[in-house]
Amino acid sequence: MSRPSSSEELQDSTDSSAAGFPPLTRAAVLACQFSSWYPTFRKHSPKATVIKPLEDRFIDYLESDGLFLPEGSGPMGVSELSDDEDSRNGSESEDDQSWQVTFPELDADIRRILTKYDGAVFPKLNWSSPQDAAWMIPGQALKCQCPADVYLLLKSSDFISHDLDHAFDECVDYEPEKEEESVQEEASAPPQDDLAQLAAQLALQEQETSATDSSDDEEALERPTRRRKSPYKFELVLKKWFDMPKSQEWRCFVKDRKLVAISQRDTNYYDFLQPEDVQADLRAKISAFFKDEIRDVFPSQSYVIDLYLTRGNDRLFIIDFNPYAPQTDALLFAWESLNALSPSAPSSSSSTPSPYPLLRVIDSPTMSSQTMPSFSHNRYPKDVVELSDGTSIADFAKEWAKKLEEGVKDSVGGEEEREGSDVAGR
C-alpha cells in the first residue's frame, strides 16, 4: 500500500468523498492487510510466511530513534557479529544500545524461513514494504539474506512507520481516541493469574491460526504477545524472493466490483508492450483472471490489485491488494479520471465493444529518466525530501505529482528483462 508522506499531504488528499472516492472504511483497509487476503488467494500468490503478532518490544525497537541492529541478527549467527555488521550499527554512542537489544526467537523464525525459501526473502509489514529504504542494503533491492537485513530495512522506512502509526488515519469510521481508550481499559484491568493468562494466550493463538489459515507447514507463525496501545496486531510478512521483471507488473483498478483500468506498474518504455494485439491479449487475460478468481471472492467493492504476469504470459500472480483511495498510486492514470468512469452505464450501441478495462502503458521512449522517476509522489523517503531544497514535503509532493502527470505523456528508456521463476504460493 502506498501512503502519503506527511500529515499535510494527508489532509490534502483525505477529502476523498468530495473528489469522488467511495468512503474509505476500516474494513476496506483491513481487507488489504496481507494476512487477510493471502489465505484465500494463496494458490495465486508467490510463496510467503506471516509471523504474527509481532511482540511489542520489537515494535518499540522499530519506533526507537537511531539505527542500531539487534545482537546476533547478522549473517554470522547468534553469538557473533562480523566487523561489517558492527559497522552497520551506526555511531559509537548507539553501539552500546545495540548490545542491549536481542530478538532470538524472531531471529530464529526468520532464519528458518530463509532456509525454506533458498536464502532470500522480501519483507513487509501488514500493508507496506520498506521500498523507500531499499538503498540501505547492497543491490538496492529488498532482498534480505539474514534477520539484520530485514530489521535494517524496516527500521529505516517511513512506509513502515506509516503502517505502525497511521494505517487507519483516513478511514471515515476510525476514532483513534475511542480505540485507544478501549485498549487502555484492557491494560488497567486486574492482572490475571498465570493459568488464566495461559488460557487467554491459547485462545488468541487459536483465533489467529484460523484467521491465517495456517495448515501443514509454517506459513503463519503464531506466538502470544503483550497487548500494545494499538487496536490491531502487527505482522511480519516474508515472501520468497524472486526476480520479477518490472515490465510484467500491472496495477488494476476495481470500481464497484468492475475492473475499470489497468496501468503498467513500471515507468520504463518497453517495445514489446506496444503492439495492439499484445495489449488486447493482456486486457483479455487480466479480465478473465479477475472475473474467475477475484471478483466474487474479495470482500470490498472498490480496490486496487497488483498483478504479475509470468514472462511466457501464461500465469498471473497476485502481489498485493490496496485500498481504492488517494494514498494508492494511480500510476499512469489520474484519480479524477478513474473516479469519473461509469462502467455500469449502458454503451451507446450494442455493437460497440466495452472500452473497459482501459489499459495504459508508457508508449514512447523519448522521455528522460530525470523527468520520469520510478518513484512517484508518495513513494520516496521523507528525509530525502526534507533535505531536498527547503520546500515542505507537501509542496515537494505537489511539484513531483505535476512532473509525473506531464511525464506520462512521454516515456523513458527500457530496462533489461529477467525471468521470474518458482513463484507459486502453493
Ligand X SMILES: Nc1ncnc2c1ncn2[C@@H]1O[C@H](COP(=O)(O)OP(=O)(O)OP(=O)(O)O)[C@@H](O)[C@H]1O
List interacting residues with ligand X (CB under 6 A).
1-2, 46, 122, 124, 128-129, 131, 239-242, 244, 249, 265, 306, 319-320, 322
The answer, yes or no, to whether the previous bond of 23 is cis (omega within 30 of 0) is: no
Return the DSSP state at 177. H
d(CA 130, CA 11): 23
Grid coordinates standing for 286? Answer: 487480466
Q: Which is nearer to ligand X, 131 or 156 (CB)?
A: 131
Mapping DSSP onto H, E and C, the string for 352-405 reads CCCCCCEEECCCCCCCCCCCCCCCCCCCCCHHHHHHHCCCCHHHHHHHHHHHHH
Q: Which is nearer to ligand X, 35 or 131 (CB)?
A: 131
Q: Side by side, which strands form the sheet with 358-360?
A: 316-323, 303-309, 249-255, 258-264, 358-360
Q: How far is the CB of 132 from ligand X (least distance, A)?
A: 9
* Phi-psi region at 168: left, alpha or beta (left = phi > 0; alpha = psi -120 to 50): alpha
The answer, yes or no, to whether the previous bond of 357 is cis (omega within 30 of 0) is: yes
In the three-class reduction of DSSP (H, G, I as helix; E, B as strand; rest coil), residue 265 is classed as: coil
Q: How far is the CB of 320 from ligand X (least distance, A)?
A: 3
Q: How far is the CB of 329 from ligand X (least distance, A)?
A: 6
Q: Which helix (H) or strand (E) holds 49?
A: strand 48-52
Q: How far is the CB of 237 from ligand X (least distance, A)?
A: 8
Q: How far is the CB of 57 from ligand X (least distance, A)?
A: 24
Q: Which is nearer to ligand X, 145 or 201 (CB)?
A: 145
Q: Which is nearer to ligand X, 110 or 319 (CB)?
A: 319
Do 109 and 223 form a contact (C-beta atoms < 8 A)? no
In the three-class reduction of DSSP (H, G, I as helix; E, B as strand; rest coil), residue 316 is classed as: strand
Q: Which helix (H) or strand (E) holds 263?
A: strand 258-264
Q: Which is nearer to ligand X, 1 or 259 (CB)?
A: 1
Q: Which residue has the cell 493463538?
A: 205
Q: Which is nearer to ligand X, 153 or 259 (CB)?
A: 153
Q: Is the dihedral of CA 152, 125, 2, 140 positive or negative?
A: positive
Q: Which is nearer to ligand X, 43 or 229 (CB)?
A: 43
Q: How far is the CB of 130 from ligand X (least distance, A)?
A: 8
Q: Which is nearer to ligand X, 111 or 418 (CB)?
A: 418
**Residue partners of 58: CB distance under 8 A and separation at least 6:** 103, 106
Q: How far is the CB of 184 from ligand X (least distance, A)?
A: 31
